[in-house]
Chains A and B, each alone.
Chain A
Amino acid sequence: LKDQQIVEGILKKDNRTYSHIYEQYGPMIMAYAMKNSGSSEDGIELVQVTILKIWNIIQNGKYESRGKFGQFVYTVAANTWKLELRSRKRTPVQALGESENYISDQGEEELYWKVTKDAKLDAIYQGINQLDDTCQELINLFHLEKVSLLEISKRKNYPYNNLKKRIFSCRKKLKRIVAEMI
């Protein structure tokens, strides 16, 4: 595939394009991680993080084609791995069971790795898509947009007390779906 075809494929979220990038550049990226203190598992994760970053750069119109897509992939992968090594060196691993100390702030670098590694996030993503439209909307309004229950009840003409129960049950259903997946 030529640069332009790859860019268009990513913009269209075309499966074949992702597959091409994975097969064409994945082995090189994996080799980079393994050559620089990484395990094969690190290498596979780096491939995924790199592809996600490339997706983000292209989706946001930040990619400028110079006819060297492979070099671009290499640069993104190399920089990502260097930052990850730096992060590992400097950030102590949290002890298990200290969930209250969970890092709630997520820089973009950390987010990409987390999205790649944490199966729970993928399960929640799938779970939300399995909820009915009303549940999805309520969860979005309450948890993401931080609209108050009172405001939601006004907007949706929903009794306040029933609304609390509804959001609670939507969240509970989501938890159940996620638990079944992982």
Chain B
Amino acid sequence: MDQDFKNQERIHEFLQGDLKGAALKAFQADLRKDANLQEDLAFSRAMMTTLKNKEILAANHQLKTIIAGKTITPDFDALKEFEGGGSSSGGGSIGKWLLGGMLGISLLAIGLFASGIFTPFTSNETSNHLVVSHLVPFENVISIAGESSPNLEKGMAAYENGDYITAIPLFNAYLKKAYDPNVQFYLGLSHLLNQESAIAIPLLERVVDTSAPPVLSVAKWYLSLAYIEEGQIPAAKVSLQELQANPDYTDRAITILNSINQTLQ
């Protein structure tokens, strides 16, 4: 009983980040050889995850209960209807993008970092993990009015469908006629989402250099993720530190900066 107590307390302190120095080393040494301690730690982590995400767990449990015993089979014909049908904004002609007041980072972009300790990953694994955790497509916020531009319209439709390979040449074709930082943003983001962060970086840097808020902040956010993915940590830190001043980004910028400081230094 006493040993169990001690272990619980040590696990609690470990998860809180309160174990330091010799106590931390001793705990890690015990952990390597004690299967019960490993199991207890895994349980505590799972319990913390559950407590922190009760609402999602509740929805998941409800869903699991509802679909239990139901069988679905893939419907490729139904898929075809959607693959070609992603209209970016309801038709009409393309003119100005109204990004200003419409910009709001999607809820999906909010990182839900637990407060645990980062364990020994290599830099590459950690930076990829950090980026994947936070990288989600930015919503299509184009408002179409005025002149028509099939390249942009089709490009945004492809982007919205997650088809970045199709979107990229269409954005490029549009940008050949005239530079538009908003289109350039979606071009850079498409490259980033298509796992081409090295290509995304100069494109997004140009957006940062040529945009005003709020586009500037959105571009900086994705540029920071691209920097991290490419291992350009000092540049990422500068960009994230600048973003902290924007209340929309303060929390997530701090979260990533903390992660960088703990794992990538």
Q: Which residues of A contact B (CB under 8 A)?
A: 13, 15, 18-19, 22-23, 26-28, 30-32, 34-35, 40, 43-44, 47-48, 51-53, 55-57, 59-60, 62, 66, 68, 70-71, 74-75, 78-79, 81-83, 86-87, 89-92, 99-112, 114-116, 118, 120-122, 124-126, 128, 139-140, 142-144, 146, 164, 168, 171, 174-175, 178
Residue of A nearest to B263 (CB): A105
Residue of A nearest to B58 (CB): A125
Contacts of A83 in B (CB 8 A): 132, 135-136
The answer to whether B16 and A115 touch across the interface, beta carbons within 8 angstroms, is no
A19 with B61: in contact, given A60-B107, A107-B134, A124-B50 (CB under 8 Å)? no
A108 with B70: in contact, given A13-B62, A18-B63 (CB under 8 Å)? no
Residue of A nearest to B116 (CB): A104
| Contact for A48 among B44, B63, B114, B259, CB less than 8 A | B63
Chain B residues touching A, majority SS: helix
Contacts of B53 in A (CB 8 A): 111, 115
Contacts of B118 in A (CB 8 A): 104-105
The answer to whether B112 and A107 touch across the interface, beta carbons within 8 angstroms, is yes
The answer to whether B74 and A34 touch across the interface, beta carbons within 8 angstroms, is yes
A121 with B49: in contact, given A75-B162, A100-B28, A107-B132 (CB under 8 Å)? yes
Binds A, one of B77-85, B92-100, B172-180, B202-210: B77-85
The answer to whether A107 and B61 touch across the interface, beta carbons within 8 angstroms, is no
